[in-house]
């Protein structure tokens, strides 16, 4: 049985739907804090179980009988709280004798990371010490998060895109592509048990401006600003400007069986969605 934890989030839902394209519902289970949010899956034959990252006993019970567990990282960004939750998940998987755990980590987590990202480094090390068979699904930033409807609307209204990246590229991938990759690993890929660097194609904010312009048939200029004027994304622009997210690998493409969604295709889809709102 394949079990997905925290399955009712945006990424988790996409993974479950991708899995149901590959395996019968009776072989899929979800562990969620609020089972009523998974009624649609229960109606389709998916095993719905209650579990809370703050409750070890619930995790142990929910993980019983799981061969493969997709351990979706906690959304908590404060490292002590996040690590306490992650340690409970790992202990629950050990007590339930889960055969294989795939963990949604972050690029570069084989080394110590800045700020809240260091929880991924610490969780990988805890999993390595656990005795469990593990696969690290090292995600980049979600394209969906950096290229949002709000950013698109602002660029279309102002005719410009703010950029504090110093011209450096950032690696992203869509949630949908990363979900399909996870489903491939969980349903029997030979990549199981390996650390996977799931990168898309790096892009710059100048390239993003061009993609928005092509999708909307208008000119979008770049407004270069210091990171101190970038609001809540200032810290992210500092990391991008350092050039640490420009690396590209073939792991995601190999799992998908095709190139990941391009920036142009993602923006075009976002524009189509906006036109229907």
- Residue 230, number of CB atoms within 10 A of its CB: 17
Fold of domain 2-139: Rossmann fold (3.40.50)
Per-residue pLDDT reduced to its tens digit, 82-139: 999 999 999 999 999 999 999 999 999 999 887 788 999 999 999 999 999 999 999 9
Ordered by start, the domain boundaries in the chain are: 2-139, 144-171+201-246+262-276
Q: Output the CATH code of domain 144-171+201-246+262-276.
A: 3.90.25.10
- Does this chain's domain 2-139 share its CATH topology with 144-171+201-246+262-276? no
Per-residue pLDDT reduced to its tens digit, 128-164: 999 999 999 999 999 999 999 999 999 999 999 999 9
pTM over 0.85: yes
Sequence-distant (≥ 6) Cβ neighbours of residue 78 within 8 angstroms: 116
- Residue 78, number of CB atoms within 10 A of its CB: 11
Q: Tokens at residue 35, please?
A: 């089972």
Q: What are phi and psi of 30, to 5 degrees?
A: -130, 145
């Amino acid at each position: 049985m394949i079990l997905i934890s925290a399955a009712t989030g945006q990424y988790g839902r996409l993974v479950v739907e991708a899995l149901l394209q590959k395996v019968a519902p009776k072989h899929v289970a979800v562990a969620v804090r609020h089972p009523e949010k998974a009624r649609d899956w229960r109606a389709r034959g998916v095993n719905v179980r209650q579990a809370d990252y703050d409750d070890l006993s619930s995790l142990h019970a929910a993980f019983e009988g799981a061969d493969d567990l997709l351990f979706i990282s906690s959304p908590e960004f404060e490292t002590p709280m996040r690590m306490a939750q992650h340690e409970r998940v790992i202990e629950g998987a050990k007590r339930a004798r889960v055969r294989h755990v795939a963990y949604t980590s972050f690029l570069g987590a084989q080394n110590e990371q800045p700020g809240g990202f260091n929880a991924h480094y610490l969780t990988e090390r805890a999993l390595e010490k656990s005795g469990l068979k593990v696969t690290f699904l090292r995600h980049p930033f979600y394209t969906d998060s950096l290229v949002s409807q709000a950013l698109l609307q602002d660029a279309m209204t102002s005719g410009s895109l703010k950029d504090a990246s110093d011209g450096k590229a950032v690696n992203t991938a869509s949630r949908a592509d990363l979900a399909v990759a996870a489903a491939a690993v969980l349903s029997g890929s030979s990549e199981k048990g390996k650390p996977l660097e799931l990168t898309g194609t790096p892009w710059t904010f100048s390239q993003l401006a061009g993609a928005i312009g092509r999708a909307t048939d208008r000119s979008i200029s770049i407004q270069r600003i210091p990171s101190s004027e970038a609001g809540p994304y200032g810290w992210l622009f500092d990391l991008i400007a350092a050039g640490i997210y420009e690396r590209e690998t073939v792991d995601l493409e190999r799992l998908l069986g095709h190139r990941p969604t391009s920036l142009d295709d993602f923006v075009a889809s976002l524009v189509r969605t906006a036109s229907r709102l």
